[in-house]
Amino acid sequence: MSEGLSDPKAMRALAHPARLMILNQLGIEGSATATEVAEIAGITPSAASYHLRMLAKYGFVEDAPPRGDGRERLWKPADAPISIASIPGDQPDVRDAKLSLMLAFRRDANEAADRALAQVERESSDWRDATRFSRTRIRVDAEELARLSESIEKLIEPYVARHRDEKDAPSGARVAEVQLNLFPVAKRSAQGLPTEDHDAAR
C-alpha cells in the first residue's frame, strides 16, 4: 500500500481552501480554465491561475488537452490519487503537515455535507429517499478494517465522476458525494459528574 503524500510543502499548498475547491471542481468537470474554476471558488481568475500553478508545481494538476481554438489554458487533475497515511517514523514537520491537510479535508467534507443537509427538503422525493447520513459502529481488527475500506472503494470506483462520462451515466444522473471514514474509535474522556444538580434546585 502506498504511504501517500510526504512532502510538507506540497501538503501545506494543498490545504488552502480555494485550492481544495478548485481540485474538487476539476474532479467533477474533468478539465476547466482558471476563469471557470474561479467562479466556483469565489476568487478572481488571476488568483485562480496562481492557485492552479501552485497545484501544478506539486503535481496535483496538469495541463489538459486544449478545446476550440486552444487560446485558453485548460487544467485537469493529475492521474495519481491523493492519499495521506500517518507513518510512525514521520518527522514533526511532516506529521504536522499531514494533520493540517487531513483537517482541511474534513472541514471541506463537513461543509459539503452541511450544504446538502440544509437543502435536502428542497430535493425531489427520489433524491431525498436516496440521500443517507448515517454512522455505524463496527467491531473489527485492523486487517478487517483495511479490507472493508478496499471493498468499499472497489464498489464506488465505477461511479467516480472524473472517470464516468455524462453520456455513460443514466438520464437524470447528478454529481453526488460519498464520504468514507474508517477509523478506530478513540475513547472519549470522562466529563466527570456535575458539582450541582441544577435541575433539582428548580
pLDDT for 3 equals: 57
- 107-166 per-position pLDDT tens digit: 999 999 999 999 999 999 999 999 999 999 999 999 999 999 999 999 999 999 888 988
Q: Dump the DSSP string for 7-47.
A: -HHHHHHHTSHHHHHHHHHHHHHS-B-HHHHHHHHTS-HHH
What pLDDT was estimated at residue 2?
44
What are 22-65's pLDDT values in tens digits?
A: 999 998 888 999 999 999 899 999 999 999 999 999 999 999 99
Q: Give the containing element (helix H, strand E) for 115.
A: helix 92-118
| Secondary structure of residue 117 in the 3-state scheme | helix
pLDDT digits (tens, 9 = 90+) for 76-89: 999 877 888 888 88
Distance CA 97, CA 113 (A): 24
Please report, as a single letter, which amino acid is at residue 55: L
**CATH code at 8-124:** 1.10.10.10
Confidence of residue 194 (pLDDT cuts 50, 70, 90): confident
**Dist. CA 26–CA 110, nearest whole Å:** 19
- Copy the grid coordinates of residue 187: 475513547
Who wins on pLDDT, 191 or 15?
15
Return the pLDDT at 170: 95
Q: Say what the pTM is.
A: 0.77
pLDDT band, very low/low/confident/very high, at 95 (cuts 50, 70, 90): very high
